[in-house]
Amino acid sequence: MCHDAGVTPPGPPSLPGPDPAFVEAWNALDPGDRRKLRRLVRIGRRPEEPHLAALVGPYARAQLARPWLRWFWVWFVPGLVIVLGAAAGVHPVLVGVVIALAAQAVYAWVQVRKFARTG
């Protein structure tokens, strides 16, 4: 009788979603501004436009709430090991390419975390 009044059925806890004010502001942006904000946050630069600069913190927090960034190290390290093994079997130059791409992914993750904390 878990559906009686006052009893919550068991299940995973609900995770908080992005701020509704941020979602409204994000949806009001044109696609070019959205791309610009995404790219600038990933490379660690604050936009010069005030209307985009105000969205940096909320955007970064919304991104960190997504599963692939919340559990970045859980999927990144095993994936990197697998891809490095495959690349080493094909050609040594591919190992360097994989390491460079991995460094870019870690750098982007660090920058998103930085903006999520500082806004």
Give per-residue pLDDT as tens, 51-83: 999 999 999 999 998 888 889 999 999 999 999
Would the pLDDT of 6 be above 80? no
Q: How do residues 81-92 score in pLDDT, each as one tens digit?
A: 999 999 999 999
Band of pLDDT at residue 8, cut at 50, 70 and 90: low
Q: What share of the chain has pLDDT > 70, as a percent?
A: 86
Band of pLDDT at residue 11, cut at 50, 70 and 90: low
Is 93 contained in some domain?
yes
Is 13 contained in some domain?
no
Chain-centre distance for alpha carbon 58: 12
Q: What is the per-residue pLDDT for 63?
A: 92
Q: What is the mean pLDDT of residues 21-44?
A: 93
Q: Containing H/E element for 64?
A: helix 56-64
| Amino acid, res. 86 | A
Would the pLDDT of 1 be above 50? no
| DSSP structure class, residue 82 | H
Residue pointed to by tokens 């994936």: 79
Is 65 contained in some domain?
yes
Is 94 contained in some domain?
yes
Is 4 contained in some domain?
no
Which domain does 65 fall in, by range? Answer: 20-118
Is 47 contained in some domain?
yes
Q: Vertex 111, ends 106 and 114: CA angle to 5°? A: 125
Is 62 contained in some domain?
yes
Is 14 contained in some domain?
no
Angle between helices 92-118 and 56-64 (to 10 degrees): 120
Q: What share of the chain has pLDDT > 90, as a percent?
A: 73
- Structural domain count, the chain: 1
